Amino acid sequence: MKYITYNEKTNVFSLRTNHSMYQMQVREHDTLVHLYYGANVGDTEITHRIISLDRGFSGNPYEAGEDRTFSLDVLPQEYSGYGNGDYRINSMEAQHEDGSDALHLRYECYKMMEGKYSLKGLPAMFGSAEEAETLEIVLYDRISNLKVHLLYGVFPELDVITRAVRIENQGEKTVTIQRAMSMEMDYPNKHMDFIHFYGRHTMERMMERLPLHHGVQSVESKRGTSSHQHNPFVILCDKATTETHGDCYGFALVYSGNYKCEIEVDQMEQTRLTMGIHPYHFSIRLNTGDVFETPEVIMAYSDAGLERLSHIFHDAYRSNLIRSKYVNTPRPILVNNWEATYFNFDEEKLFQIAKAGKDIGLDLFVLDDGWFGKRNSDYTGLGDWVVNEDKIKGGLPKLVERINGIGMKFGLWIEPEMVSEDSDLYREHPDWCLRIPQRHMNRSRHQLNLDITRKEVRDHIMGQIFKVMDSCNVEYIKWDMNRSVDNVYSMALPAERQGEVFHRYMLGVYEMMEQLVQRYPDLLFENCSGGGGRFDAGMLYYSPQIWCSDNTDAVDRLKIQYGTSFGYPISTMGAHVSVCPNHQTGRSTPFETRGVVASAGTFGFELDLEKLTPEEKELARRQIREYKETEHLVQTGDYYRLTSPFKNNDYVVWQFVSKDKKESIVNGVMLRNEANPHIHLIWLRGLEPDQYYKDMASGAVYTGAALMKAGIPLPVGIGDYQPITFRFERQ
């Protein structure tokens, strides 16, 4: 069955997945208009919703002649340009050599292919001929002879459609691209809500739901990263949409740098959404024959609520975005020494933490910041990726051999994109950082951004890191990035190309990460940017997990991990048990509760294991054992948000269900207890109604229908922040 079709009589393109359909049409004057995106409605072509009227102050293209009803200002377009009578937010802007900036993109041709298109140097979903189909539609501007290739990838079984744009200059003159969105989506009405995920360092991806209003709403980042402040994943949904009911649309940008998602409700109460690279400090000069490709957007539609939408993204990422062998393989459970020691350690202290980890059943010891150069504080050493043998006597090979000798794997923290002013690298190559001539540099964490746009910089840094890794058995890397990109100017580029620095920087980072994963294919690779500052689909192409937040407080993590779950698989969230009082909040929560929250992610520990009490060590052993028994549910199961931490101040509960419906775990936290308490019921989801499920703790047996329709009572205990745990198996 072909999932992409073209009707030559009506000029309608139809893209179908198992449960969704996307349509567009070539109409008058070779204009490509958007018709429909939503539930699969069969063979009907949704051409009847476009009604042309004479709209005052909405101009008409010259070729329309005396037809005042044809205006690009009100038509739902597939990909709009600037300067053609459409005054709404648009997808593309370009400046020509004569200083003009008009673009009139007309339909030229199309091509269909088996399999999924690819993008040069950019992360994107992948798909074989059996998994995906590609549609390429070419638009052109007849004056500049710019060709704009609209790329669509259709994954029928995943219910996903991807979009990207390839811009090609076939003209004789240079054109400067000033705006190039990856996609545009026009809706016929404004009666929707906008869900986005805002935040800050240590409190990322807080969910916010707002009604659409007239004018423009946007989320964006100009920080050189996808950022802690906003996330490049958004949802549009009907006002009545809930977790289990209603229409909703998800859009995820597969990019880790500057981006912008804009939504405009226009004069006709139509809604337009665009998403792609932020136009700020962005310009790409295309000489004759040059090509520029935009990052990819992954789109999904659900008519069964937000829960189903999340499942679509989770499954798509796990099967056709994340490439690591660890996407479905049990991952080593680690202990990271950062909150245990910070910069104050020696090789014996590190070994003792590893030894204590082995004693409670851990698999991996991770050495965090401070092992290189003269790195005794965050003021020095970045860029000098040579082992500090004053702190680690005998060097890393000796330490790693010792740790491997007790049956523990070894992992290492790196921050390849940064340099300290107090470093040998900076003293030798001050021009190797981003810096604006004749201006003082902005510092952050007292470090500077290396000019990753330059190949000699990338080669030097990765050469140092590879030398360290090749000297010993490193089986895990945590790649950190602890400041926003600033002082944006490259000494290696001419003035007219400085607008390319942000994007070239991101391409350089992707190239470095690709070198890492190709050189060490069995490496467990975890991304990090001060925690969740680059938690995006682009990073997941290189690493199967991302450190979710530098905030390890179990109560704060309930909101952080809840918001993250809407667009990202639970198995991608790095989550650790840390010490109390917590280092970020000062809050104390029970050890069991910290384990329950961390088990809704890639489970690990981040504390001084030598200081655990005997009781805590026994609890840790049990947590590790139980997580290994249920890890497959976290990695491959379906995730259900049974309550929202933004709406419920008493308890937060979530659930995993295996794909075959045979197993389920329900976890959560009782946030606040009262005297003479209420009995709270929780209703499970995702089970087989007519099958029997055994509560493995109590031995009680229920039908799936009883658990989902009648509910089960939450435990009654004493004290705040008490853990909630259930485990069910089908009989």
Q: Give the residue numbers marked as catalytic.
A: 536, 616
**Rounded to an integer, what distance in angstroms lies between the CA atom of residue 534 and that of residue 513?**
14
How many of the other CB atoms lie within 10 Å of CB of 279?
Answer: 19
Give the type of residue at 653. Answer: V
**Rounded to an integer, what distance in angstroms lies between the CA atom of residue 64 and that of residue 59?**
10
205-230 per-residue burial string, b: 16 or more CB within 10 A, e: under 16: bbbeeeebeeeebbbbbbbbbbbbbb
Phi and psi of 290, rounded to 5°?
-75, 150
Residue 258 token pair: 């500057």
Alpha carbons within 13 angstroms on the beta-carbon side of residue 706 total 12
- Evaluate the CA torsion angle 55, 59, 61, 63 in order and state its sign: positive
Q: Give every CB contact of residue 580 below 8 A, 6+ residues apart in sequence.
A: 587, 588, 589, 591, 594
In three-state form (DSSP H/G/I as H, E/B as E, the rest C), the secondary structure along 337-352 is CHHHHCCCCCHHHHHH
DSSP assignment letter at 129 = T
**Rounded to an integer, what distance in angstroms lies between the CA atom of residue 383 and that of residue 423?**
7
Per-position DSSP letters for 609-668, written without gaps between them? GGG--HHHHHHHHHHHHHHHHHHHHHHHSEEEE-S-TTT-SSEEEEEEE-TTSSEEEEEE
**Rounded to an integer, what distance in angstroms lies between the CA atom of residue 89 and that of residue 82?**
9
Phi and psi of 399, rounded to 5°?
-65, -45
